């Protein structure tokens, strides 16, 4: 059994931290239990949060206990594995998050369309993106931005309202489109196909990976992302451009890609190659190999090599 765990899997930090070691203990015998961690919290991840120190202590105790109970832990990046090593776990294996289908056909030159996709919340850095886009538009008046995604809480709804006001105050209503609500997989891929640049200027410090980046990596789009732990698996200036999540840095990176088609195409090609290497088919093969080895080995001395 493979338990998929994120630090709010059971609805809140507290409930999740209590449930995880209990679940691990229940599954330990006779099941061969594996845990896939979709995010790791470090002390810096909770900086500035209410009761951050209390949450950190609870997470540390809970995770250390759970790591001893599961036979193997799978994470999605070397950065995540490094975090678990600092927790004292030596039985973590990296299996990348699976990436979407590669389809880079019908790219007719460098378009002036920019895309943000994801949940609409403060940690996504969208306010900085709008401010940076405002600076960019002064030099590139034909450029357009689409902000697509959904909201899950009243706090996120309030944040969306503040973003709409910011767009109106900058006079960007005709240049920025909001597509809010459920977005189907087909619509998401169509949005990526209509854009040349995907911008993910997140400001959080959680050690995880970006599902959006993986989903759209094969679409032929160039990626601009923040230099935060979430994007550690992508190489700067090879699969993406990494920037400080500030308006000035975002605007500068967008300007570079909109004026240098060779660089933009190089980034998109390399990102598509990353998607091929981490396809659903490849990830499925590796996971099956791991599960089979765990089931047939009486005592696994070390985690098998995956990628």
Is the pLDDT confidence value at 282 over 90? Answer: yes
Would you state the pLDDT for residue 31? 66
In sequence order, the 6+-apart residues with CB closer than 8 A to the CB of 42 are 83, 205, 207, 229
Q: Tell me the two tokens of residue 276.
A: 């091929």
Q: How confident is the model at residue 137 (pLDDT cuts 50, 70, 90)?
A: very high
Q: How confident is the model at residue 43 (pLDDT cuts 50, 70, 90)?
A: confident
Beta bridge partners of 116: 147
Q: How confident is the model at residue 300 (pLDDT cuts 50, 70, 90)?
A: low
* Nearest one of 223, 136, 165 to 231, comparing CA atoms: 223
Mean pLDDT, to the nearest integer, of 8-14?
68
Query: Hunting for tokens 């980034």 — which residue is that?
Result: 267
Q: How many CB atoms lie within 10 A of CB 235?
A: 12
Report pLDDT digits (tens) over 251-268. Answer: 999 999 999 999 999 999
Q: Tell me the two tokens of residue 112.
A: 């002036």
Q: How confident is the model at residue 44 (pLDDT cuts 50, 70, 90)?
A: confident
Q: State the sign of the Cα–Cα–Cα–Cα dihedral 72, 78, 84, 88.
A: positive
149: left (phi over 0), alpha (psi -120 to 50) or beta: left
CATH topology of domain 113-277: Rossmann fold (3.40.50)
| Per-domain residue ranges of the chain | 2-98+279-296, 113-277
> Could you tell me the CA-to-CA distances from 87 to 35, 92, 194, 208 in Å, in that order?
15, 11, 43, 16
Is the pLDDT confidence value at 7 over 70? Answer: no
Q: State the sign of the Cα–Cα–Cα–Cα dihedral 262, 266, 267, 268.
A: positive
* Nearest one of 300, 255, 261 to 71, comparing CA atoms: 300
Q: Half-sphere exposure of residue 149, counting CA atoms within 13 Å on the CB side?
A: 19
Q: What DSSP element (H or E) covers 149?
A: strand 144-149
* Nearest one of 8, 73, 76, 69 to 38, comparing CA atoms: 76
* Percent of the residues in the chain that have a pLDDT greater than 90, as a whole number: 58
> Could you tell me the CA-to-CA distances from 93 to 42, 73, 204 in Å, in that order?
18, 6, 24
Q: Tell me the two tokens of residue 94.
A: 């990296």
Q: How confident is the model at residue 203 (pLDDT cuts 50, 70, 90)?
A: very high
Q: How confident is the model at residue 29 (pLDDT cuts 50, 70, 90)?
A: low
């Amino acid at each position: 059994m493979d338990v998929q765990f994120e630090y709010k899997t059971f609805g809140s930090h507290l409930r999740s931290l209590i449930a995880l070691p209990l679940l691990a203990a229940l599954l330990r015998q006779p099941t061969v239990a594996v845990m896939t961690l979709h995010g790791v919290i470090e002390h810096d991840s909770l900086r500035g949060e209410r009761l951050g120190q209390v949450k950190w202590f609870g997470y540390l105790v809970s995770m250390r206990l759970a790591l001893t109970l599961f036979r193997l832990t799978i994470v999605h990046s070397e950065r995540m594995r490094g975090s678990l090593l600092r927790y004292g776990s030596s039985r973590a294996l990296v299996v990348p998050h699976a990436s979407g289908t590669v389809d880079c056909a019908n790219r007719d030159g460098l378009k002036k369309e920019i895309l943000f996709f994801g949940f609409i919340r403060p940690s996504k850095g969208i306010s900085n993106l709008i401010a940076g886009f405002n600076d960019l538009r002064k030099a590139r008046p034909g450029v357009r931005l689409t902000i697509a995604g959904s909201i899950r809480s009243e706090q996120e709804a309030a944040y969306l309202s503040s973003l709409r006001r910011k767009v109106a105050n900058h006079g960007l209503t005709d240049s920025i489109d909001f597509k809010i609500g459920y977005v189907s997989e087909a619509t998401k891929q169509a949005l990526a196909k209509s854009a040349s640049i995907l911008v993910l200027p997140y400001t959080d410090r959680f050690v995880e990976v970006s599902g959006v980046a993986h989903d759209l990596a094969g679409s032929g789009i160039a990626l601009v992302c923040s230099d935060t732990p979430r994007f550690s698996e992508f190489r700067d200036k090879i699969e993406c451009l990494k920037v400080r999540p500030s308006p000035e840095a975002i605007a500068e990176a967008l300007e570079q890609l909109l004026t240098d088609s060779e660089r933009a195409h190089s980034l998109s090609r390399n990102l598509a190659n990353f998607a091929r290497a981490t396809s659903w088919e490849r990830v499925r093969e590796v996971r099956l190999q791991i599960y089979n080895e765990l089931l047939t080995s009486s005592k696994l001395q070390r985690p098998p090599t995956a990628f």
